[in-house]
Structure 1
Amino acid sequence: MASVPGILTEWPWKPLGSLKYVILAPWIIHSTWLFVANDAKERDVSYFLLLGVVLWRIIHNQIWISLSRYRTAKGNGRILDRGLEFEQVDRENNWDDQILFNALLFYTGSRHLPGAQKLPLWRAHGVLLSIVLHAGPVEFLYYWFHRALHHHYLYSRYHSHHHSSIVTQPITSVIHPFAEHVVYSALFFIPILGTMLTRTLSVVSFTAYITYIDFMNNMGHCNFELIPNWLFSLFPPLKYFMYTPSYHSLHHTQFRTNYSLFMPIYDYIYETMDKSSDALYETSLKREEETPDVLHLTHLTTPESIYHLPLGFASLASRPHTSKWYLWLMWPVTLWSMILTWIYGRTFVVERQRFDNLRLQTWAIPKYNLQYYLQWQNEAINSLIEEAIIQAEEKGVKVLCLGLLNQGEELNRYGGLYVHRHPHLKIRVVDGSSLAVAITLNTIPKGTTQVLLRGNLTKVAYAVAFALCQKGIQVATLHHDEYLKLAKSLSGMESGLLLAKSYAHEVWLVGDGLSEEEQLRAPKGTLFVPFSQFPPKKIA
C-alpha cells in the first residue's frame, strides 16, 4: 500500500477474494459457445484462443517465480543479498490481478474493436509495426510517465507501493495500484491498437508482444543477473535497447536513476542512467554459488509437496500438509514432476535464510515419504544423502542437519552410517534430535507430573523420556515390552517409569505408530505433544 493511498488504488474485484476469476466466466463461456456452435467458416478462433493466452501468462509468470527463487537461493549471479520479507510476499500475492484486468480488455476489444476479429495466424508487417511502435511511443511515453510517478505527489499516493519492495522478485514488476495499471495498459496497447487499425494484427504478433512484455518485466525484477557479457561484446549498441536485471535493480535501490522501461536509451539521452550500472552488472555476473554455514537436508513428502515448496506457490508454502481443489486439475504437472525427479534424481536447493552473519540453506532429496518405507529404496536414498554430504563437505559447509526421514534408524542409524564410511569428514552431520527433544520438553505444560508415551520408540522418544525422568515427571506406557525397553535404556531411573492400565492421562507424548483408535480413547481435553517428524493426523 502506498504511504498516502490515492483514488483507484484498490482493484475493483478485491471483495471477491479468491473468487475474482468468476468475472471472466461470461467471456469464456461466450467464446467457447461460439467456437462450438458455429461452423468452421464462421468461427473466430482468435477470440476462443484468448483463454489460452491468459493461461499462458499465468504459467509464464509462475515459471519466472520458481526460477528466480531457485537461482537466488543458490546464489550465483545474485544481485542483492537481502531476502524477501513475509510482508512483501503477502503484498505481492495478488500478482494475477493485472492478468485478469488485461483479459477483460482483450475480450472486450476482440468483440467491439474493428480489425480484432478472426485474426490470421501470421502477418509479418504487424510484427515489424509492433516493434517500431514499442521502441518509439511506448518506451518514450513510459519513461516520462515513470519520472512523473517519482514526483512526491504521485509517488506518495501510488508508486511508493511498488517501491516498498527493495529486493525484487519477478512478480514485483506488476505490483502497482489499479490506477497505475490503467495507464500501463493504455501504453502497452499502443502497438496492439496500431496493428489493429492498420489491419496487420495477427495471433502471433499479439501473443508475442504480450509475452515480450511479461518476459522483460519478470527478467528485470528477478534479482539475479543472467544476460551474458558476450552478447553486449558481440553487438555493443544492444545496451541501449535491452536492460538487464542489475540495471533495473539499481532503480529500486537508488530510486532516482534508471527510469527506462526495457530500453535504456532514454536514460542515456536524458542523463538519468546510474553510473554504477556497468560495475554492478559485472559484479553480479561474477558472483558464485553461496556456501552456507548450516545445511538442512530434507526431502519431498507427497507428489503435491512440490507446490508447497518456496519454489512453488507462496500461498501453499505457508500452509504445509494442506490440499486445494485446483491441485487435482494440475495432475499432469504433478505427474511430470514425478517423472522428472525420477529421471533427474539429484538433490536440489529449496531456499536460503540468513540470520546476521549465519548463512543457511535447505536442500531436498527427490524422494517421497512412501519410498522411505520401501526396503529396496534404502540404497538409492542413502546414496543421494551421501552425495549431498560429500558435496557439502567440498563447499565448506560446517554443519549438515538430516531432516525428516533422512535420519531414520533403520536407514542410516541417525546419520552414523555416513560418519563411519567417511571418518575424516570435517563437516558435522547431525540429526536434530537434541532440538526436537528441547522443543518437545518446552511444549509440555508447567506443573505436569505424569505423561503417557505413545508411538514408536525412537532416539527422540528415549531422550525425552530420560529428560522427563530427570525432571521428576513420570513417564507412563501401556505395553509391557515398551516398558522393558525404556527401563533398559534408562537404567537406574526405573522409578520414573510407569506401566499404565488406562488411557486416562492429561498429556500424551505421541509419535509415529499412534493409531486412530488410540486417539479416540483419549479423554476429552487431552493435550497431544508430538515428538516425531510428522505429527499424527488429527481426527474428528
Structure 2
Amino acid sequence: MASKPGILTEWPWQKLGNMKYVVLAPWVVQSVYSFVTKDERERDIMNLLIFPFLLLRLLHGQLWISLSRYYTTKAKHSIVDKGIEFEQVDRERNWDDLIIFNGLLYYFGFMYLPGASRMPIWRWDGLLLTILLHVGPVEFIYYWFHRALHHHFLYSRYHSHHHSSIVTEPITAVVHPFAEHLGYFLLFSIPPVTTILTKTSSVGVFVGYTTYMDFMNYMGHCNFELVPNWVFNHFPFLKYLMYTPSFHSLHHTQFRTNYSLFMPIYDYIYGTMDKSSDKLYEDSLKGRKETPDVVHLIHPITLQSFYHLPPAIASLASEPYSSKWYLSMFWPIPYEFMLFTWKFGSTFAVERNVFDKLKMQTWAIPRFSFHYSKSSQKDAINSVIERAILEAENEGVKVLSLGLLNQGEQFNGNGELYLQKHPNLKIRIVDGSSLAVAVVLHSIPKGTKQVLLSGNISKVVCAIAKNLCQRGIQVGVVCKDNFDKLKLGIPTELWINLLISTSYTQKVWLVGDGELSEKEQRKAPEGTHFIPCSQFPPKKVRKDCIYYNTPAMVIPKALQNVYSCENWLPRRVMSAWRVAGIVHALEGWDVHECGDTMLDIEKVWLASLSHGFRLPMLDHTFI
C-alpha cells in the first residue's frame, strides 16, 4: 500500500480474492453466445478473441517473471545486488488485476464504441498513426504525469506503492493503485481509440501495440541487463528511443531521475537523465562472476510442485506446497520442461540466498519423486547428481548438501557413492543427518517416557533411537524386521529400552520413511504427537492429534533474498538438511557427512543455534 493511501486505491474486486476472475465471466459468456447465435455476416471475431488474448497476456507476464528469476539467481548480470522478500511478493501478487481491468474495458469498448467491431486484420495507416501518437502525445504526457506522481501529495497517496519495490521484478511494472491505472488507461488508449475514430484500426495493430507495451514494461523492470551493446553501437539514435532495464532501475533507486516511459529522449530534453545511466548499463552487461559457497541440490516432488519452484508462479512459490486442482490441467508443461532440461542441461538454478558473506544457491534435478522409485532411472539420476557435484567442485563451491531423495540410502548410500568414485573431492558433501536427528530430538515434548517408531529404518532413525535409548527412553517398534535392524546399530546394553510394541499407547510417534497409512494413524490415542524423521511428511488424517513439520529450523533475519517456501514448510523455515549445509560452511568443517558418517549431534545443534537458527515450535523442549 502507499504510505498514505488515497481514494480509489483498492481494486473494485479486491474482496473477491482468487475468485476475482468471475467479473469477466458474463462478458466471456456473452461473446461466445453472440458468436454462436448470430448470422455469419454479423459475427464479431474480435469480441470472441478478447478472452484468449487476455490469457496470452497472462502467459507473457509469467514468462518474463520466470526468465527474470532464473537469470537473477545466477547474479552475474544483476543490476541491484539485493534480494526480495515475502513482503514484496505479497504486494505484487495482484499484478493480474490490470489484465482483468483491461479485459472489462475491451469488452465494453468493442461492444459500444462506434467502429470498434469487425476490424480488418491489418492496416498500415493505422500502424503509422499509432507510432506517431505513441512517440508524441503518449510518451510526452506520461513523462510529465510521472513527474507529477513524484510530487509528495500524489507520491504518498499512490505512486509510493510502486516504488516500495527497490529491487524490481517484471510484474512490478503493473503494480499500482487502481486510481493510477485509471490515469494510465486514459493515456495509453489514445492511439487505439484514435485509430478507431479515424477508421484506421485493425486487429494486428491493436494486438501489436498492447503486446509492445507489455513487453517494454516487463523488460524495463527486470533486475538484469539484457539489451546487448551492439544494438546501440550499430544504431546510436536508439539510446533516445528505447530504454533498458538498468536505465529504469536507476529510477527505482534514485527516484528523481529517468522518468520516461520507454523513450529516454524526454529525460535528455528536460535534464532528468541520471548521469550514471551509461556506466550502470556497461557494468551490468559486463557482469561479475559469483561463486556460491553452498549449493543445495533438490528436485521437484510432483508435477504440480513444478509451479511452486521460485522461477515459476511467484504467488504459489511464496506459500507452502499444496495441490491445486486447476494445475492438473497443465501437466504437459512441467513434463515437457523436465524433458527439455534433461536433454540440454543437467541441473538448473532456482534460488539464490545470502547470509552475511556466505552465498548460497539451490539447484534442481529435472526429475520428480516418482522417477526415484524406478530402478531404470537410478543410474541416470545418480549420473546427473554426480555431474552437479563435479560442476560445483569446478566452480569452487565449498559445500554441497543433498536434499530430498538425492541422498537416498538405497539410491546412493546417503551420498557415499560419489565419494567412492571421487575420493579426492575438495567440495564437502553433506547429507544433513546429524542436524535432522538433533531437530527431532529437541522437538520431542518434555517428560516423554516412551515413543513409537513407525516407517522404514534409516540412518536418521537409527541415530534417534540410539540417543533415546541412551537417555532411558523406551523406543517401541511395531515391525520385528525393523526391531532387528535397530538392534544392529544400538549397543547391547541399550537393548533393554528397545521393544516390540503392539499396543499403540505411546503419545509420541516418530514417523520414518514410508507412508503412514490412515489405518495406522487411527490406532494412535487422542492427542498423539506425530513427529516426522524423514524428508516427507505424513498425510494428516486426525484432527485430534498434533502433526509436526519435517525436521526444519526457522532461519535468522540475516539470511536474505528468501521469497519462496521450501516444499510444505512455512515461510522462512528451511529443512534441517539444507540448514546443515549452511552451518557446515559457516563453521568451515573440513569433513564429509554422508554414507555412514554422523557428526557430533550436539556440536552440530549448538553450532546451528549460534548462527541464529531455531526450532519452529519454541514451546517444545527436549527431555
TM-score, length of structure 1 as denominator length: 0.97
Cα drift, residue 536 of structure 1: 1.6
2:501 aligns with 500
Amino acid at match of 2:239: K
> 1:98-497 counterparts in 2 under 5 A?
98-288=98-288, 290-344=290-344, 346-491=346-491, 492-497=493-498
Amino acid at match of 2:527: G
2:582 aligns with none
- In 2, distance between residues paired with 1:471 and 1:133? 80
Matched position secondary structure for 2:297: strand
- In 2, distance between residues paired with 1:283 and 1:119? 46
User: Runs of 5+ in structure 2 lacking a partner?
Assistant: 543-623
> 1:59-74 counterparts in 2 under 5 A?
59-74=59-74
Amino acid at match of 2:442: N
2:510 aligns with 509
Q: Would you tell me which structure has more helix in proportion to its own residues?
A: 1
Amino acid at match of 1:498: L
2:45 aligns with 45
Structure 2 CA distance for partners of 1:328 and 1:539, relative to 1, 3 Å: same
Structure 2 CA distance for partners of 1:305 and 1:289, relative to 1, 3 Å: farther
Identity %: 63
Give per-residue Cα distances to partners, 1:506-536, cap 9 Å, x unaligned: 0000022233322121111111000111112
Matched position secondary structure for 1:354: strand
1:533 aligns with 2:535: yes
- In 2, distance between residues paired with 1:342 and 1:199? 51
Matched-pair contact (CA < 8 Å) for 1:480–1:499: yes
Cα drift, residue 307 of structure 1: 0.7
- In 2, distance between residues paired with 1:24 and 1:114? 22
2:33 aligns with 33
- In 2, distance between residues paired with 1:305 and 1:501? 37
Amino acid at match of 2:270: Y
Matched-pair contact (CA < 8 Å) for 1:240–1:264: yes
- In 2, distance between residues paired with 1:320 and 1:125? 52
1:7 aligns with 2:7: yes
Amino acid at match of 1:387: R
Matched position secondary structure for 2:429: strand
- In 2, distance between residues paired with 1:524 and 1:163? 51
Matched position secondary structure for 1:359: strand
Give per-residue Cα distances to partners, 1:178-211, cap 9 Å, x unaligned: 1100000111101111111111111110011111
- In 1, distance between residues paired with 2:342 and 2:120? 42
**What RMSD, in angstroms, separates the aligned Cα atoms of the two structures?**
1.4
Cα drift, residue 342 of structure 1: 4.9
1:82 aligns with 82
Amino acid at match of 1:397: V
Cα drift, residue 163 of structure 1: 0.6
Cα drift, residue 435 of structure 1: 2.0
Amino acid at match of 1:336: E
Amino acid at match of 1:164: S
Q: Which moved more, 1:339-348 or 1:519-528?
A: 339-348
Q: Which moved more, 1:352-361 or 1:252-261?
A: 352-361
Matched-pair contact (CA < 8 Å) for 1:299–1:364: yes
Give per-residue Cα distances to partners, 1:238-289, cap 9 Å, x unaligned: 0000000011000000011000000000000001011111111111111145
User: Runs of 5+ in structure 1 lacking a partner?
Assistant: none
Amino acid at match of 2:227: I
Matched-pair contact (CA < 8 Å) for 1:295–1:363: yes
Cα drift, residue 314 of structure 1: 2.4
- In 1, distance between residues paired with 2:39 and 2:339? 40
Give per-residue Cα distances to partners, 1:311-332, cap 9 Å, x unaligned: 1122322344412222133234
- In 1, distance between residues paired with 2:319 and 2:181? 30
- In 2, distance between residues paired with 1:22 and 1:7? 24
Matched-pair contact (CA < 8 Å) for 2:21–2:100: yes
1:522 aligns with 524
Cα drift, residue 496 of structure 1: 3.0
Amino acid at match of 2:356: D
1:58 aligns with 2:58: yes
Q: Which moved more, 1:323-332 or 1:114-123?
A: 323-332
Matched-pair contact (CA < 8 Å) for 1:345–1:366: no
Matched position secondary structure for 2:140: helix
Give 4+ residue runs of structure 1 displaced > 4 Å after superposition: none
Matched-pair contact (CA < 8 Å) for 1:243–1:264: yes
Matched position secondary structure for 1:508: strand
- In 2, distance between residues paired with 1:269 and 1:308? 45
Matched position secondary structure for 2:92: helix
- In 1, distance between residues paired with 2:289 and 2:69? 14
- In 2, distance between residues paired with 1:539 and 1:345? 40
- In 2, distance between residues paired with 1:233 and 1:57? 32
Cα drift, residue 93 of structure 1: 0.4
Cα drift, residue 427 of structure 1: 0.4
- In 2, distance between residues paired with 1:336 and 1:374? 19
Cα drift, residue 81 of structure 1: 1.5
Q: Which moved more, 1:343-352 or 1:48-57?
A: 343-352
Matched-pair contact (CA < 8 Å) for 2:296–2:403: yes
TM-score, length of structure 2 as denominator length: 0.85
2:555 aligns with none
- In 1, distance between residues paired with 2:84 and 2:367? 28
- In 2, distance between residues paired with 1:339 and 1:73? 22
- In 2, distance between residues paired with 1:209 and 1:117? 18
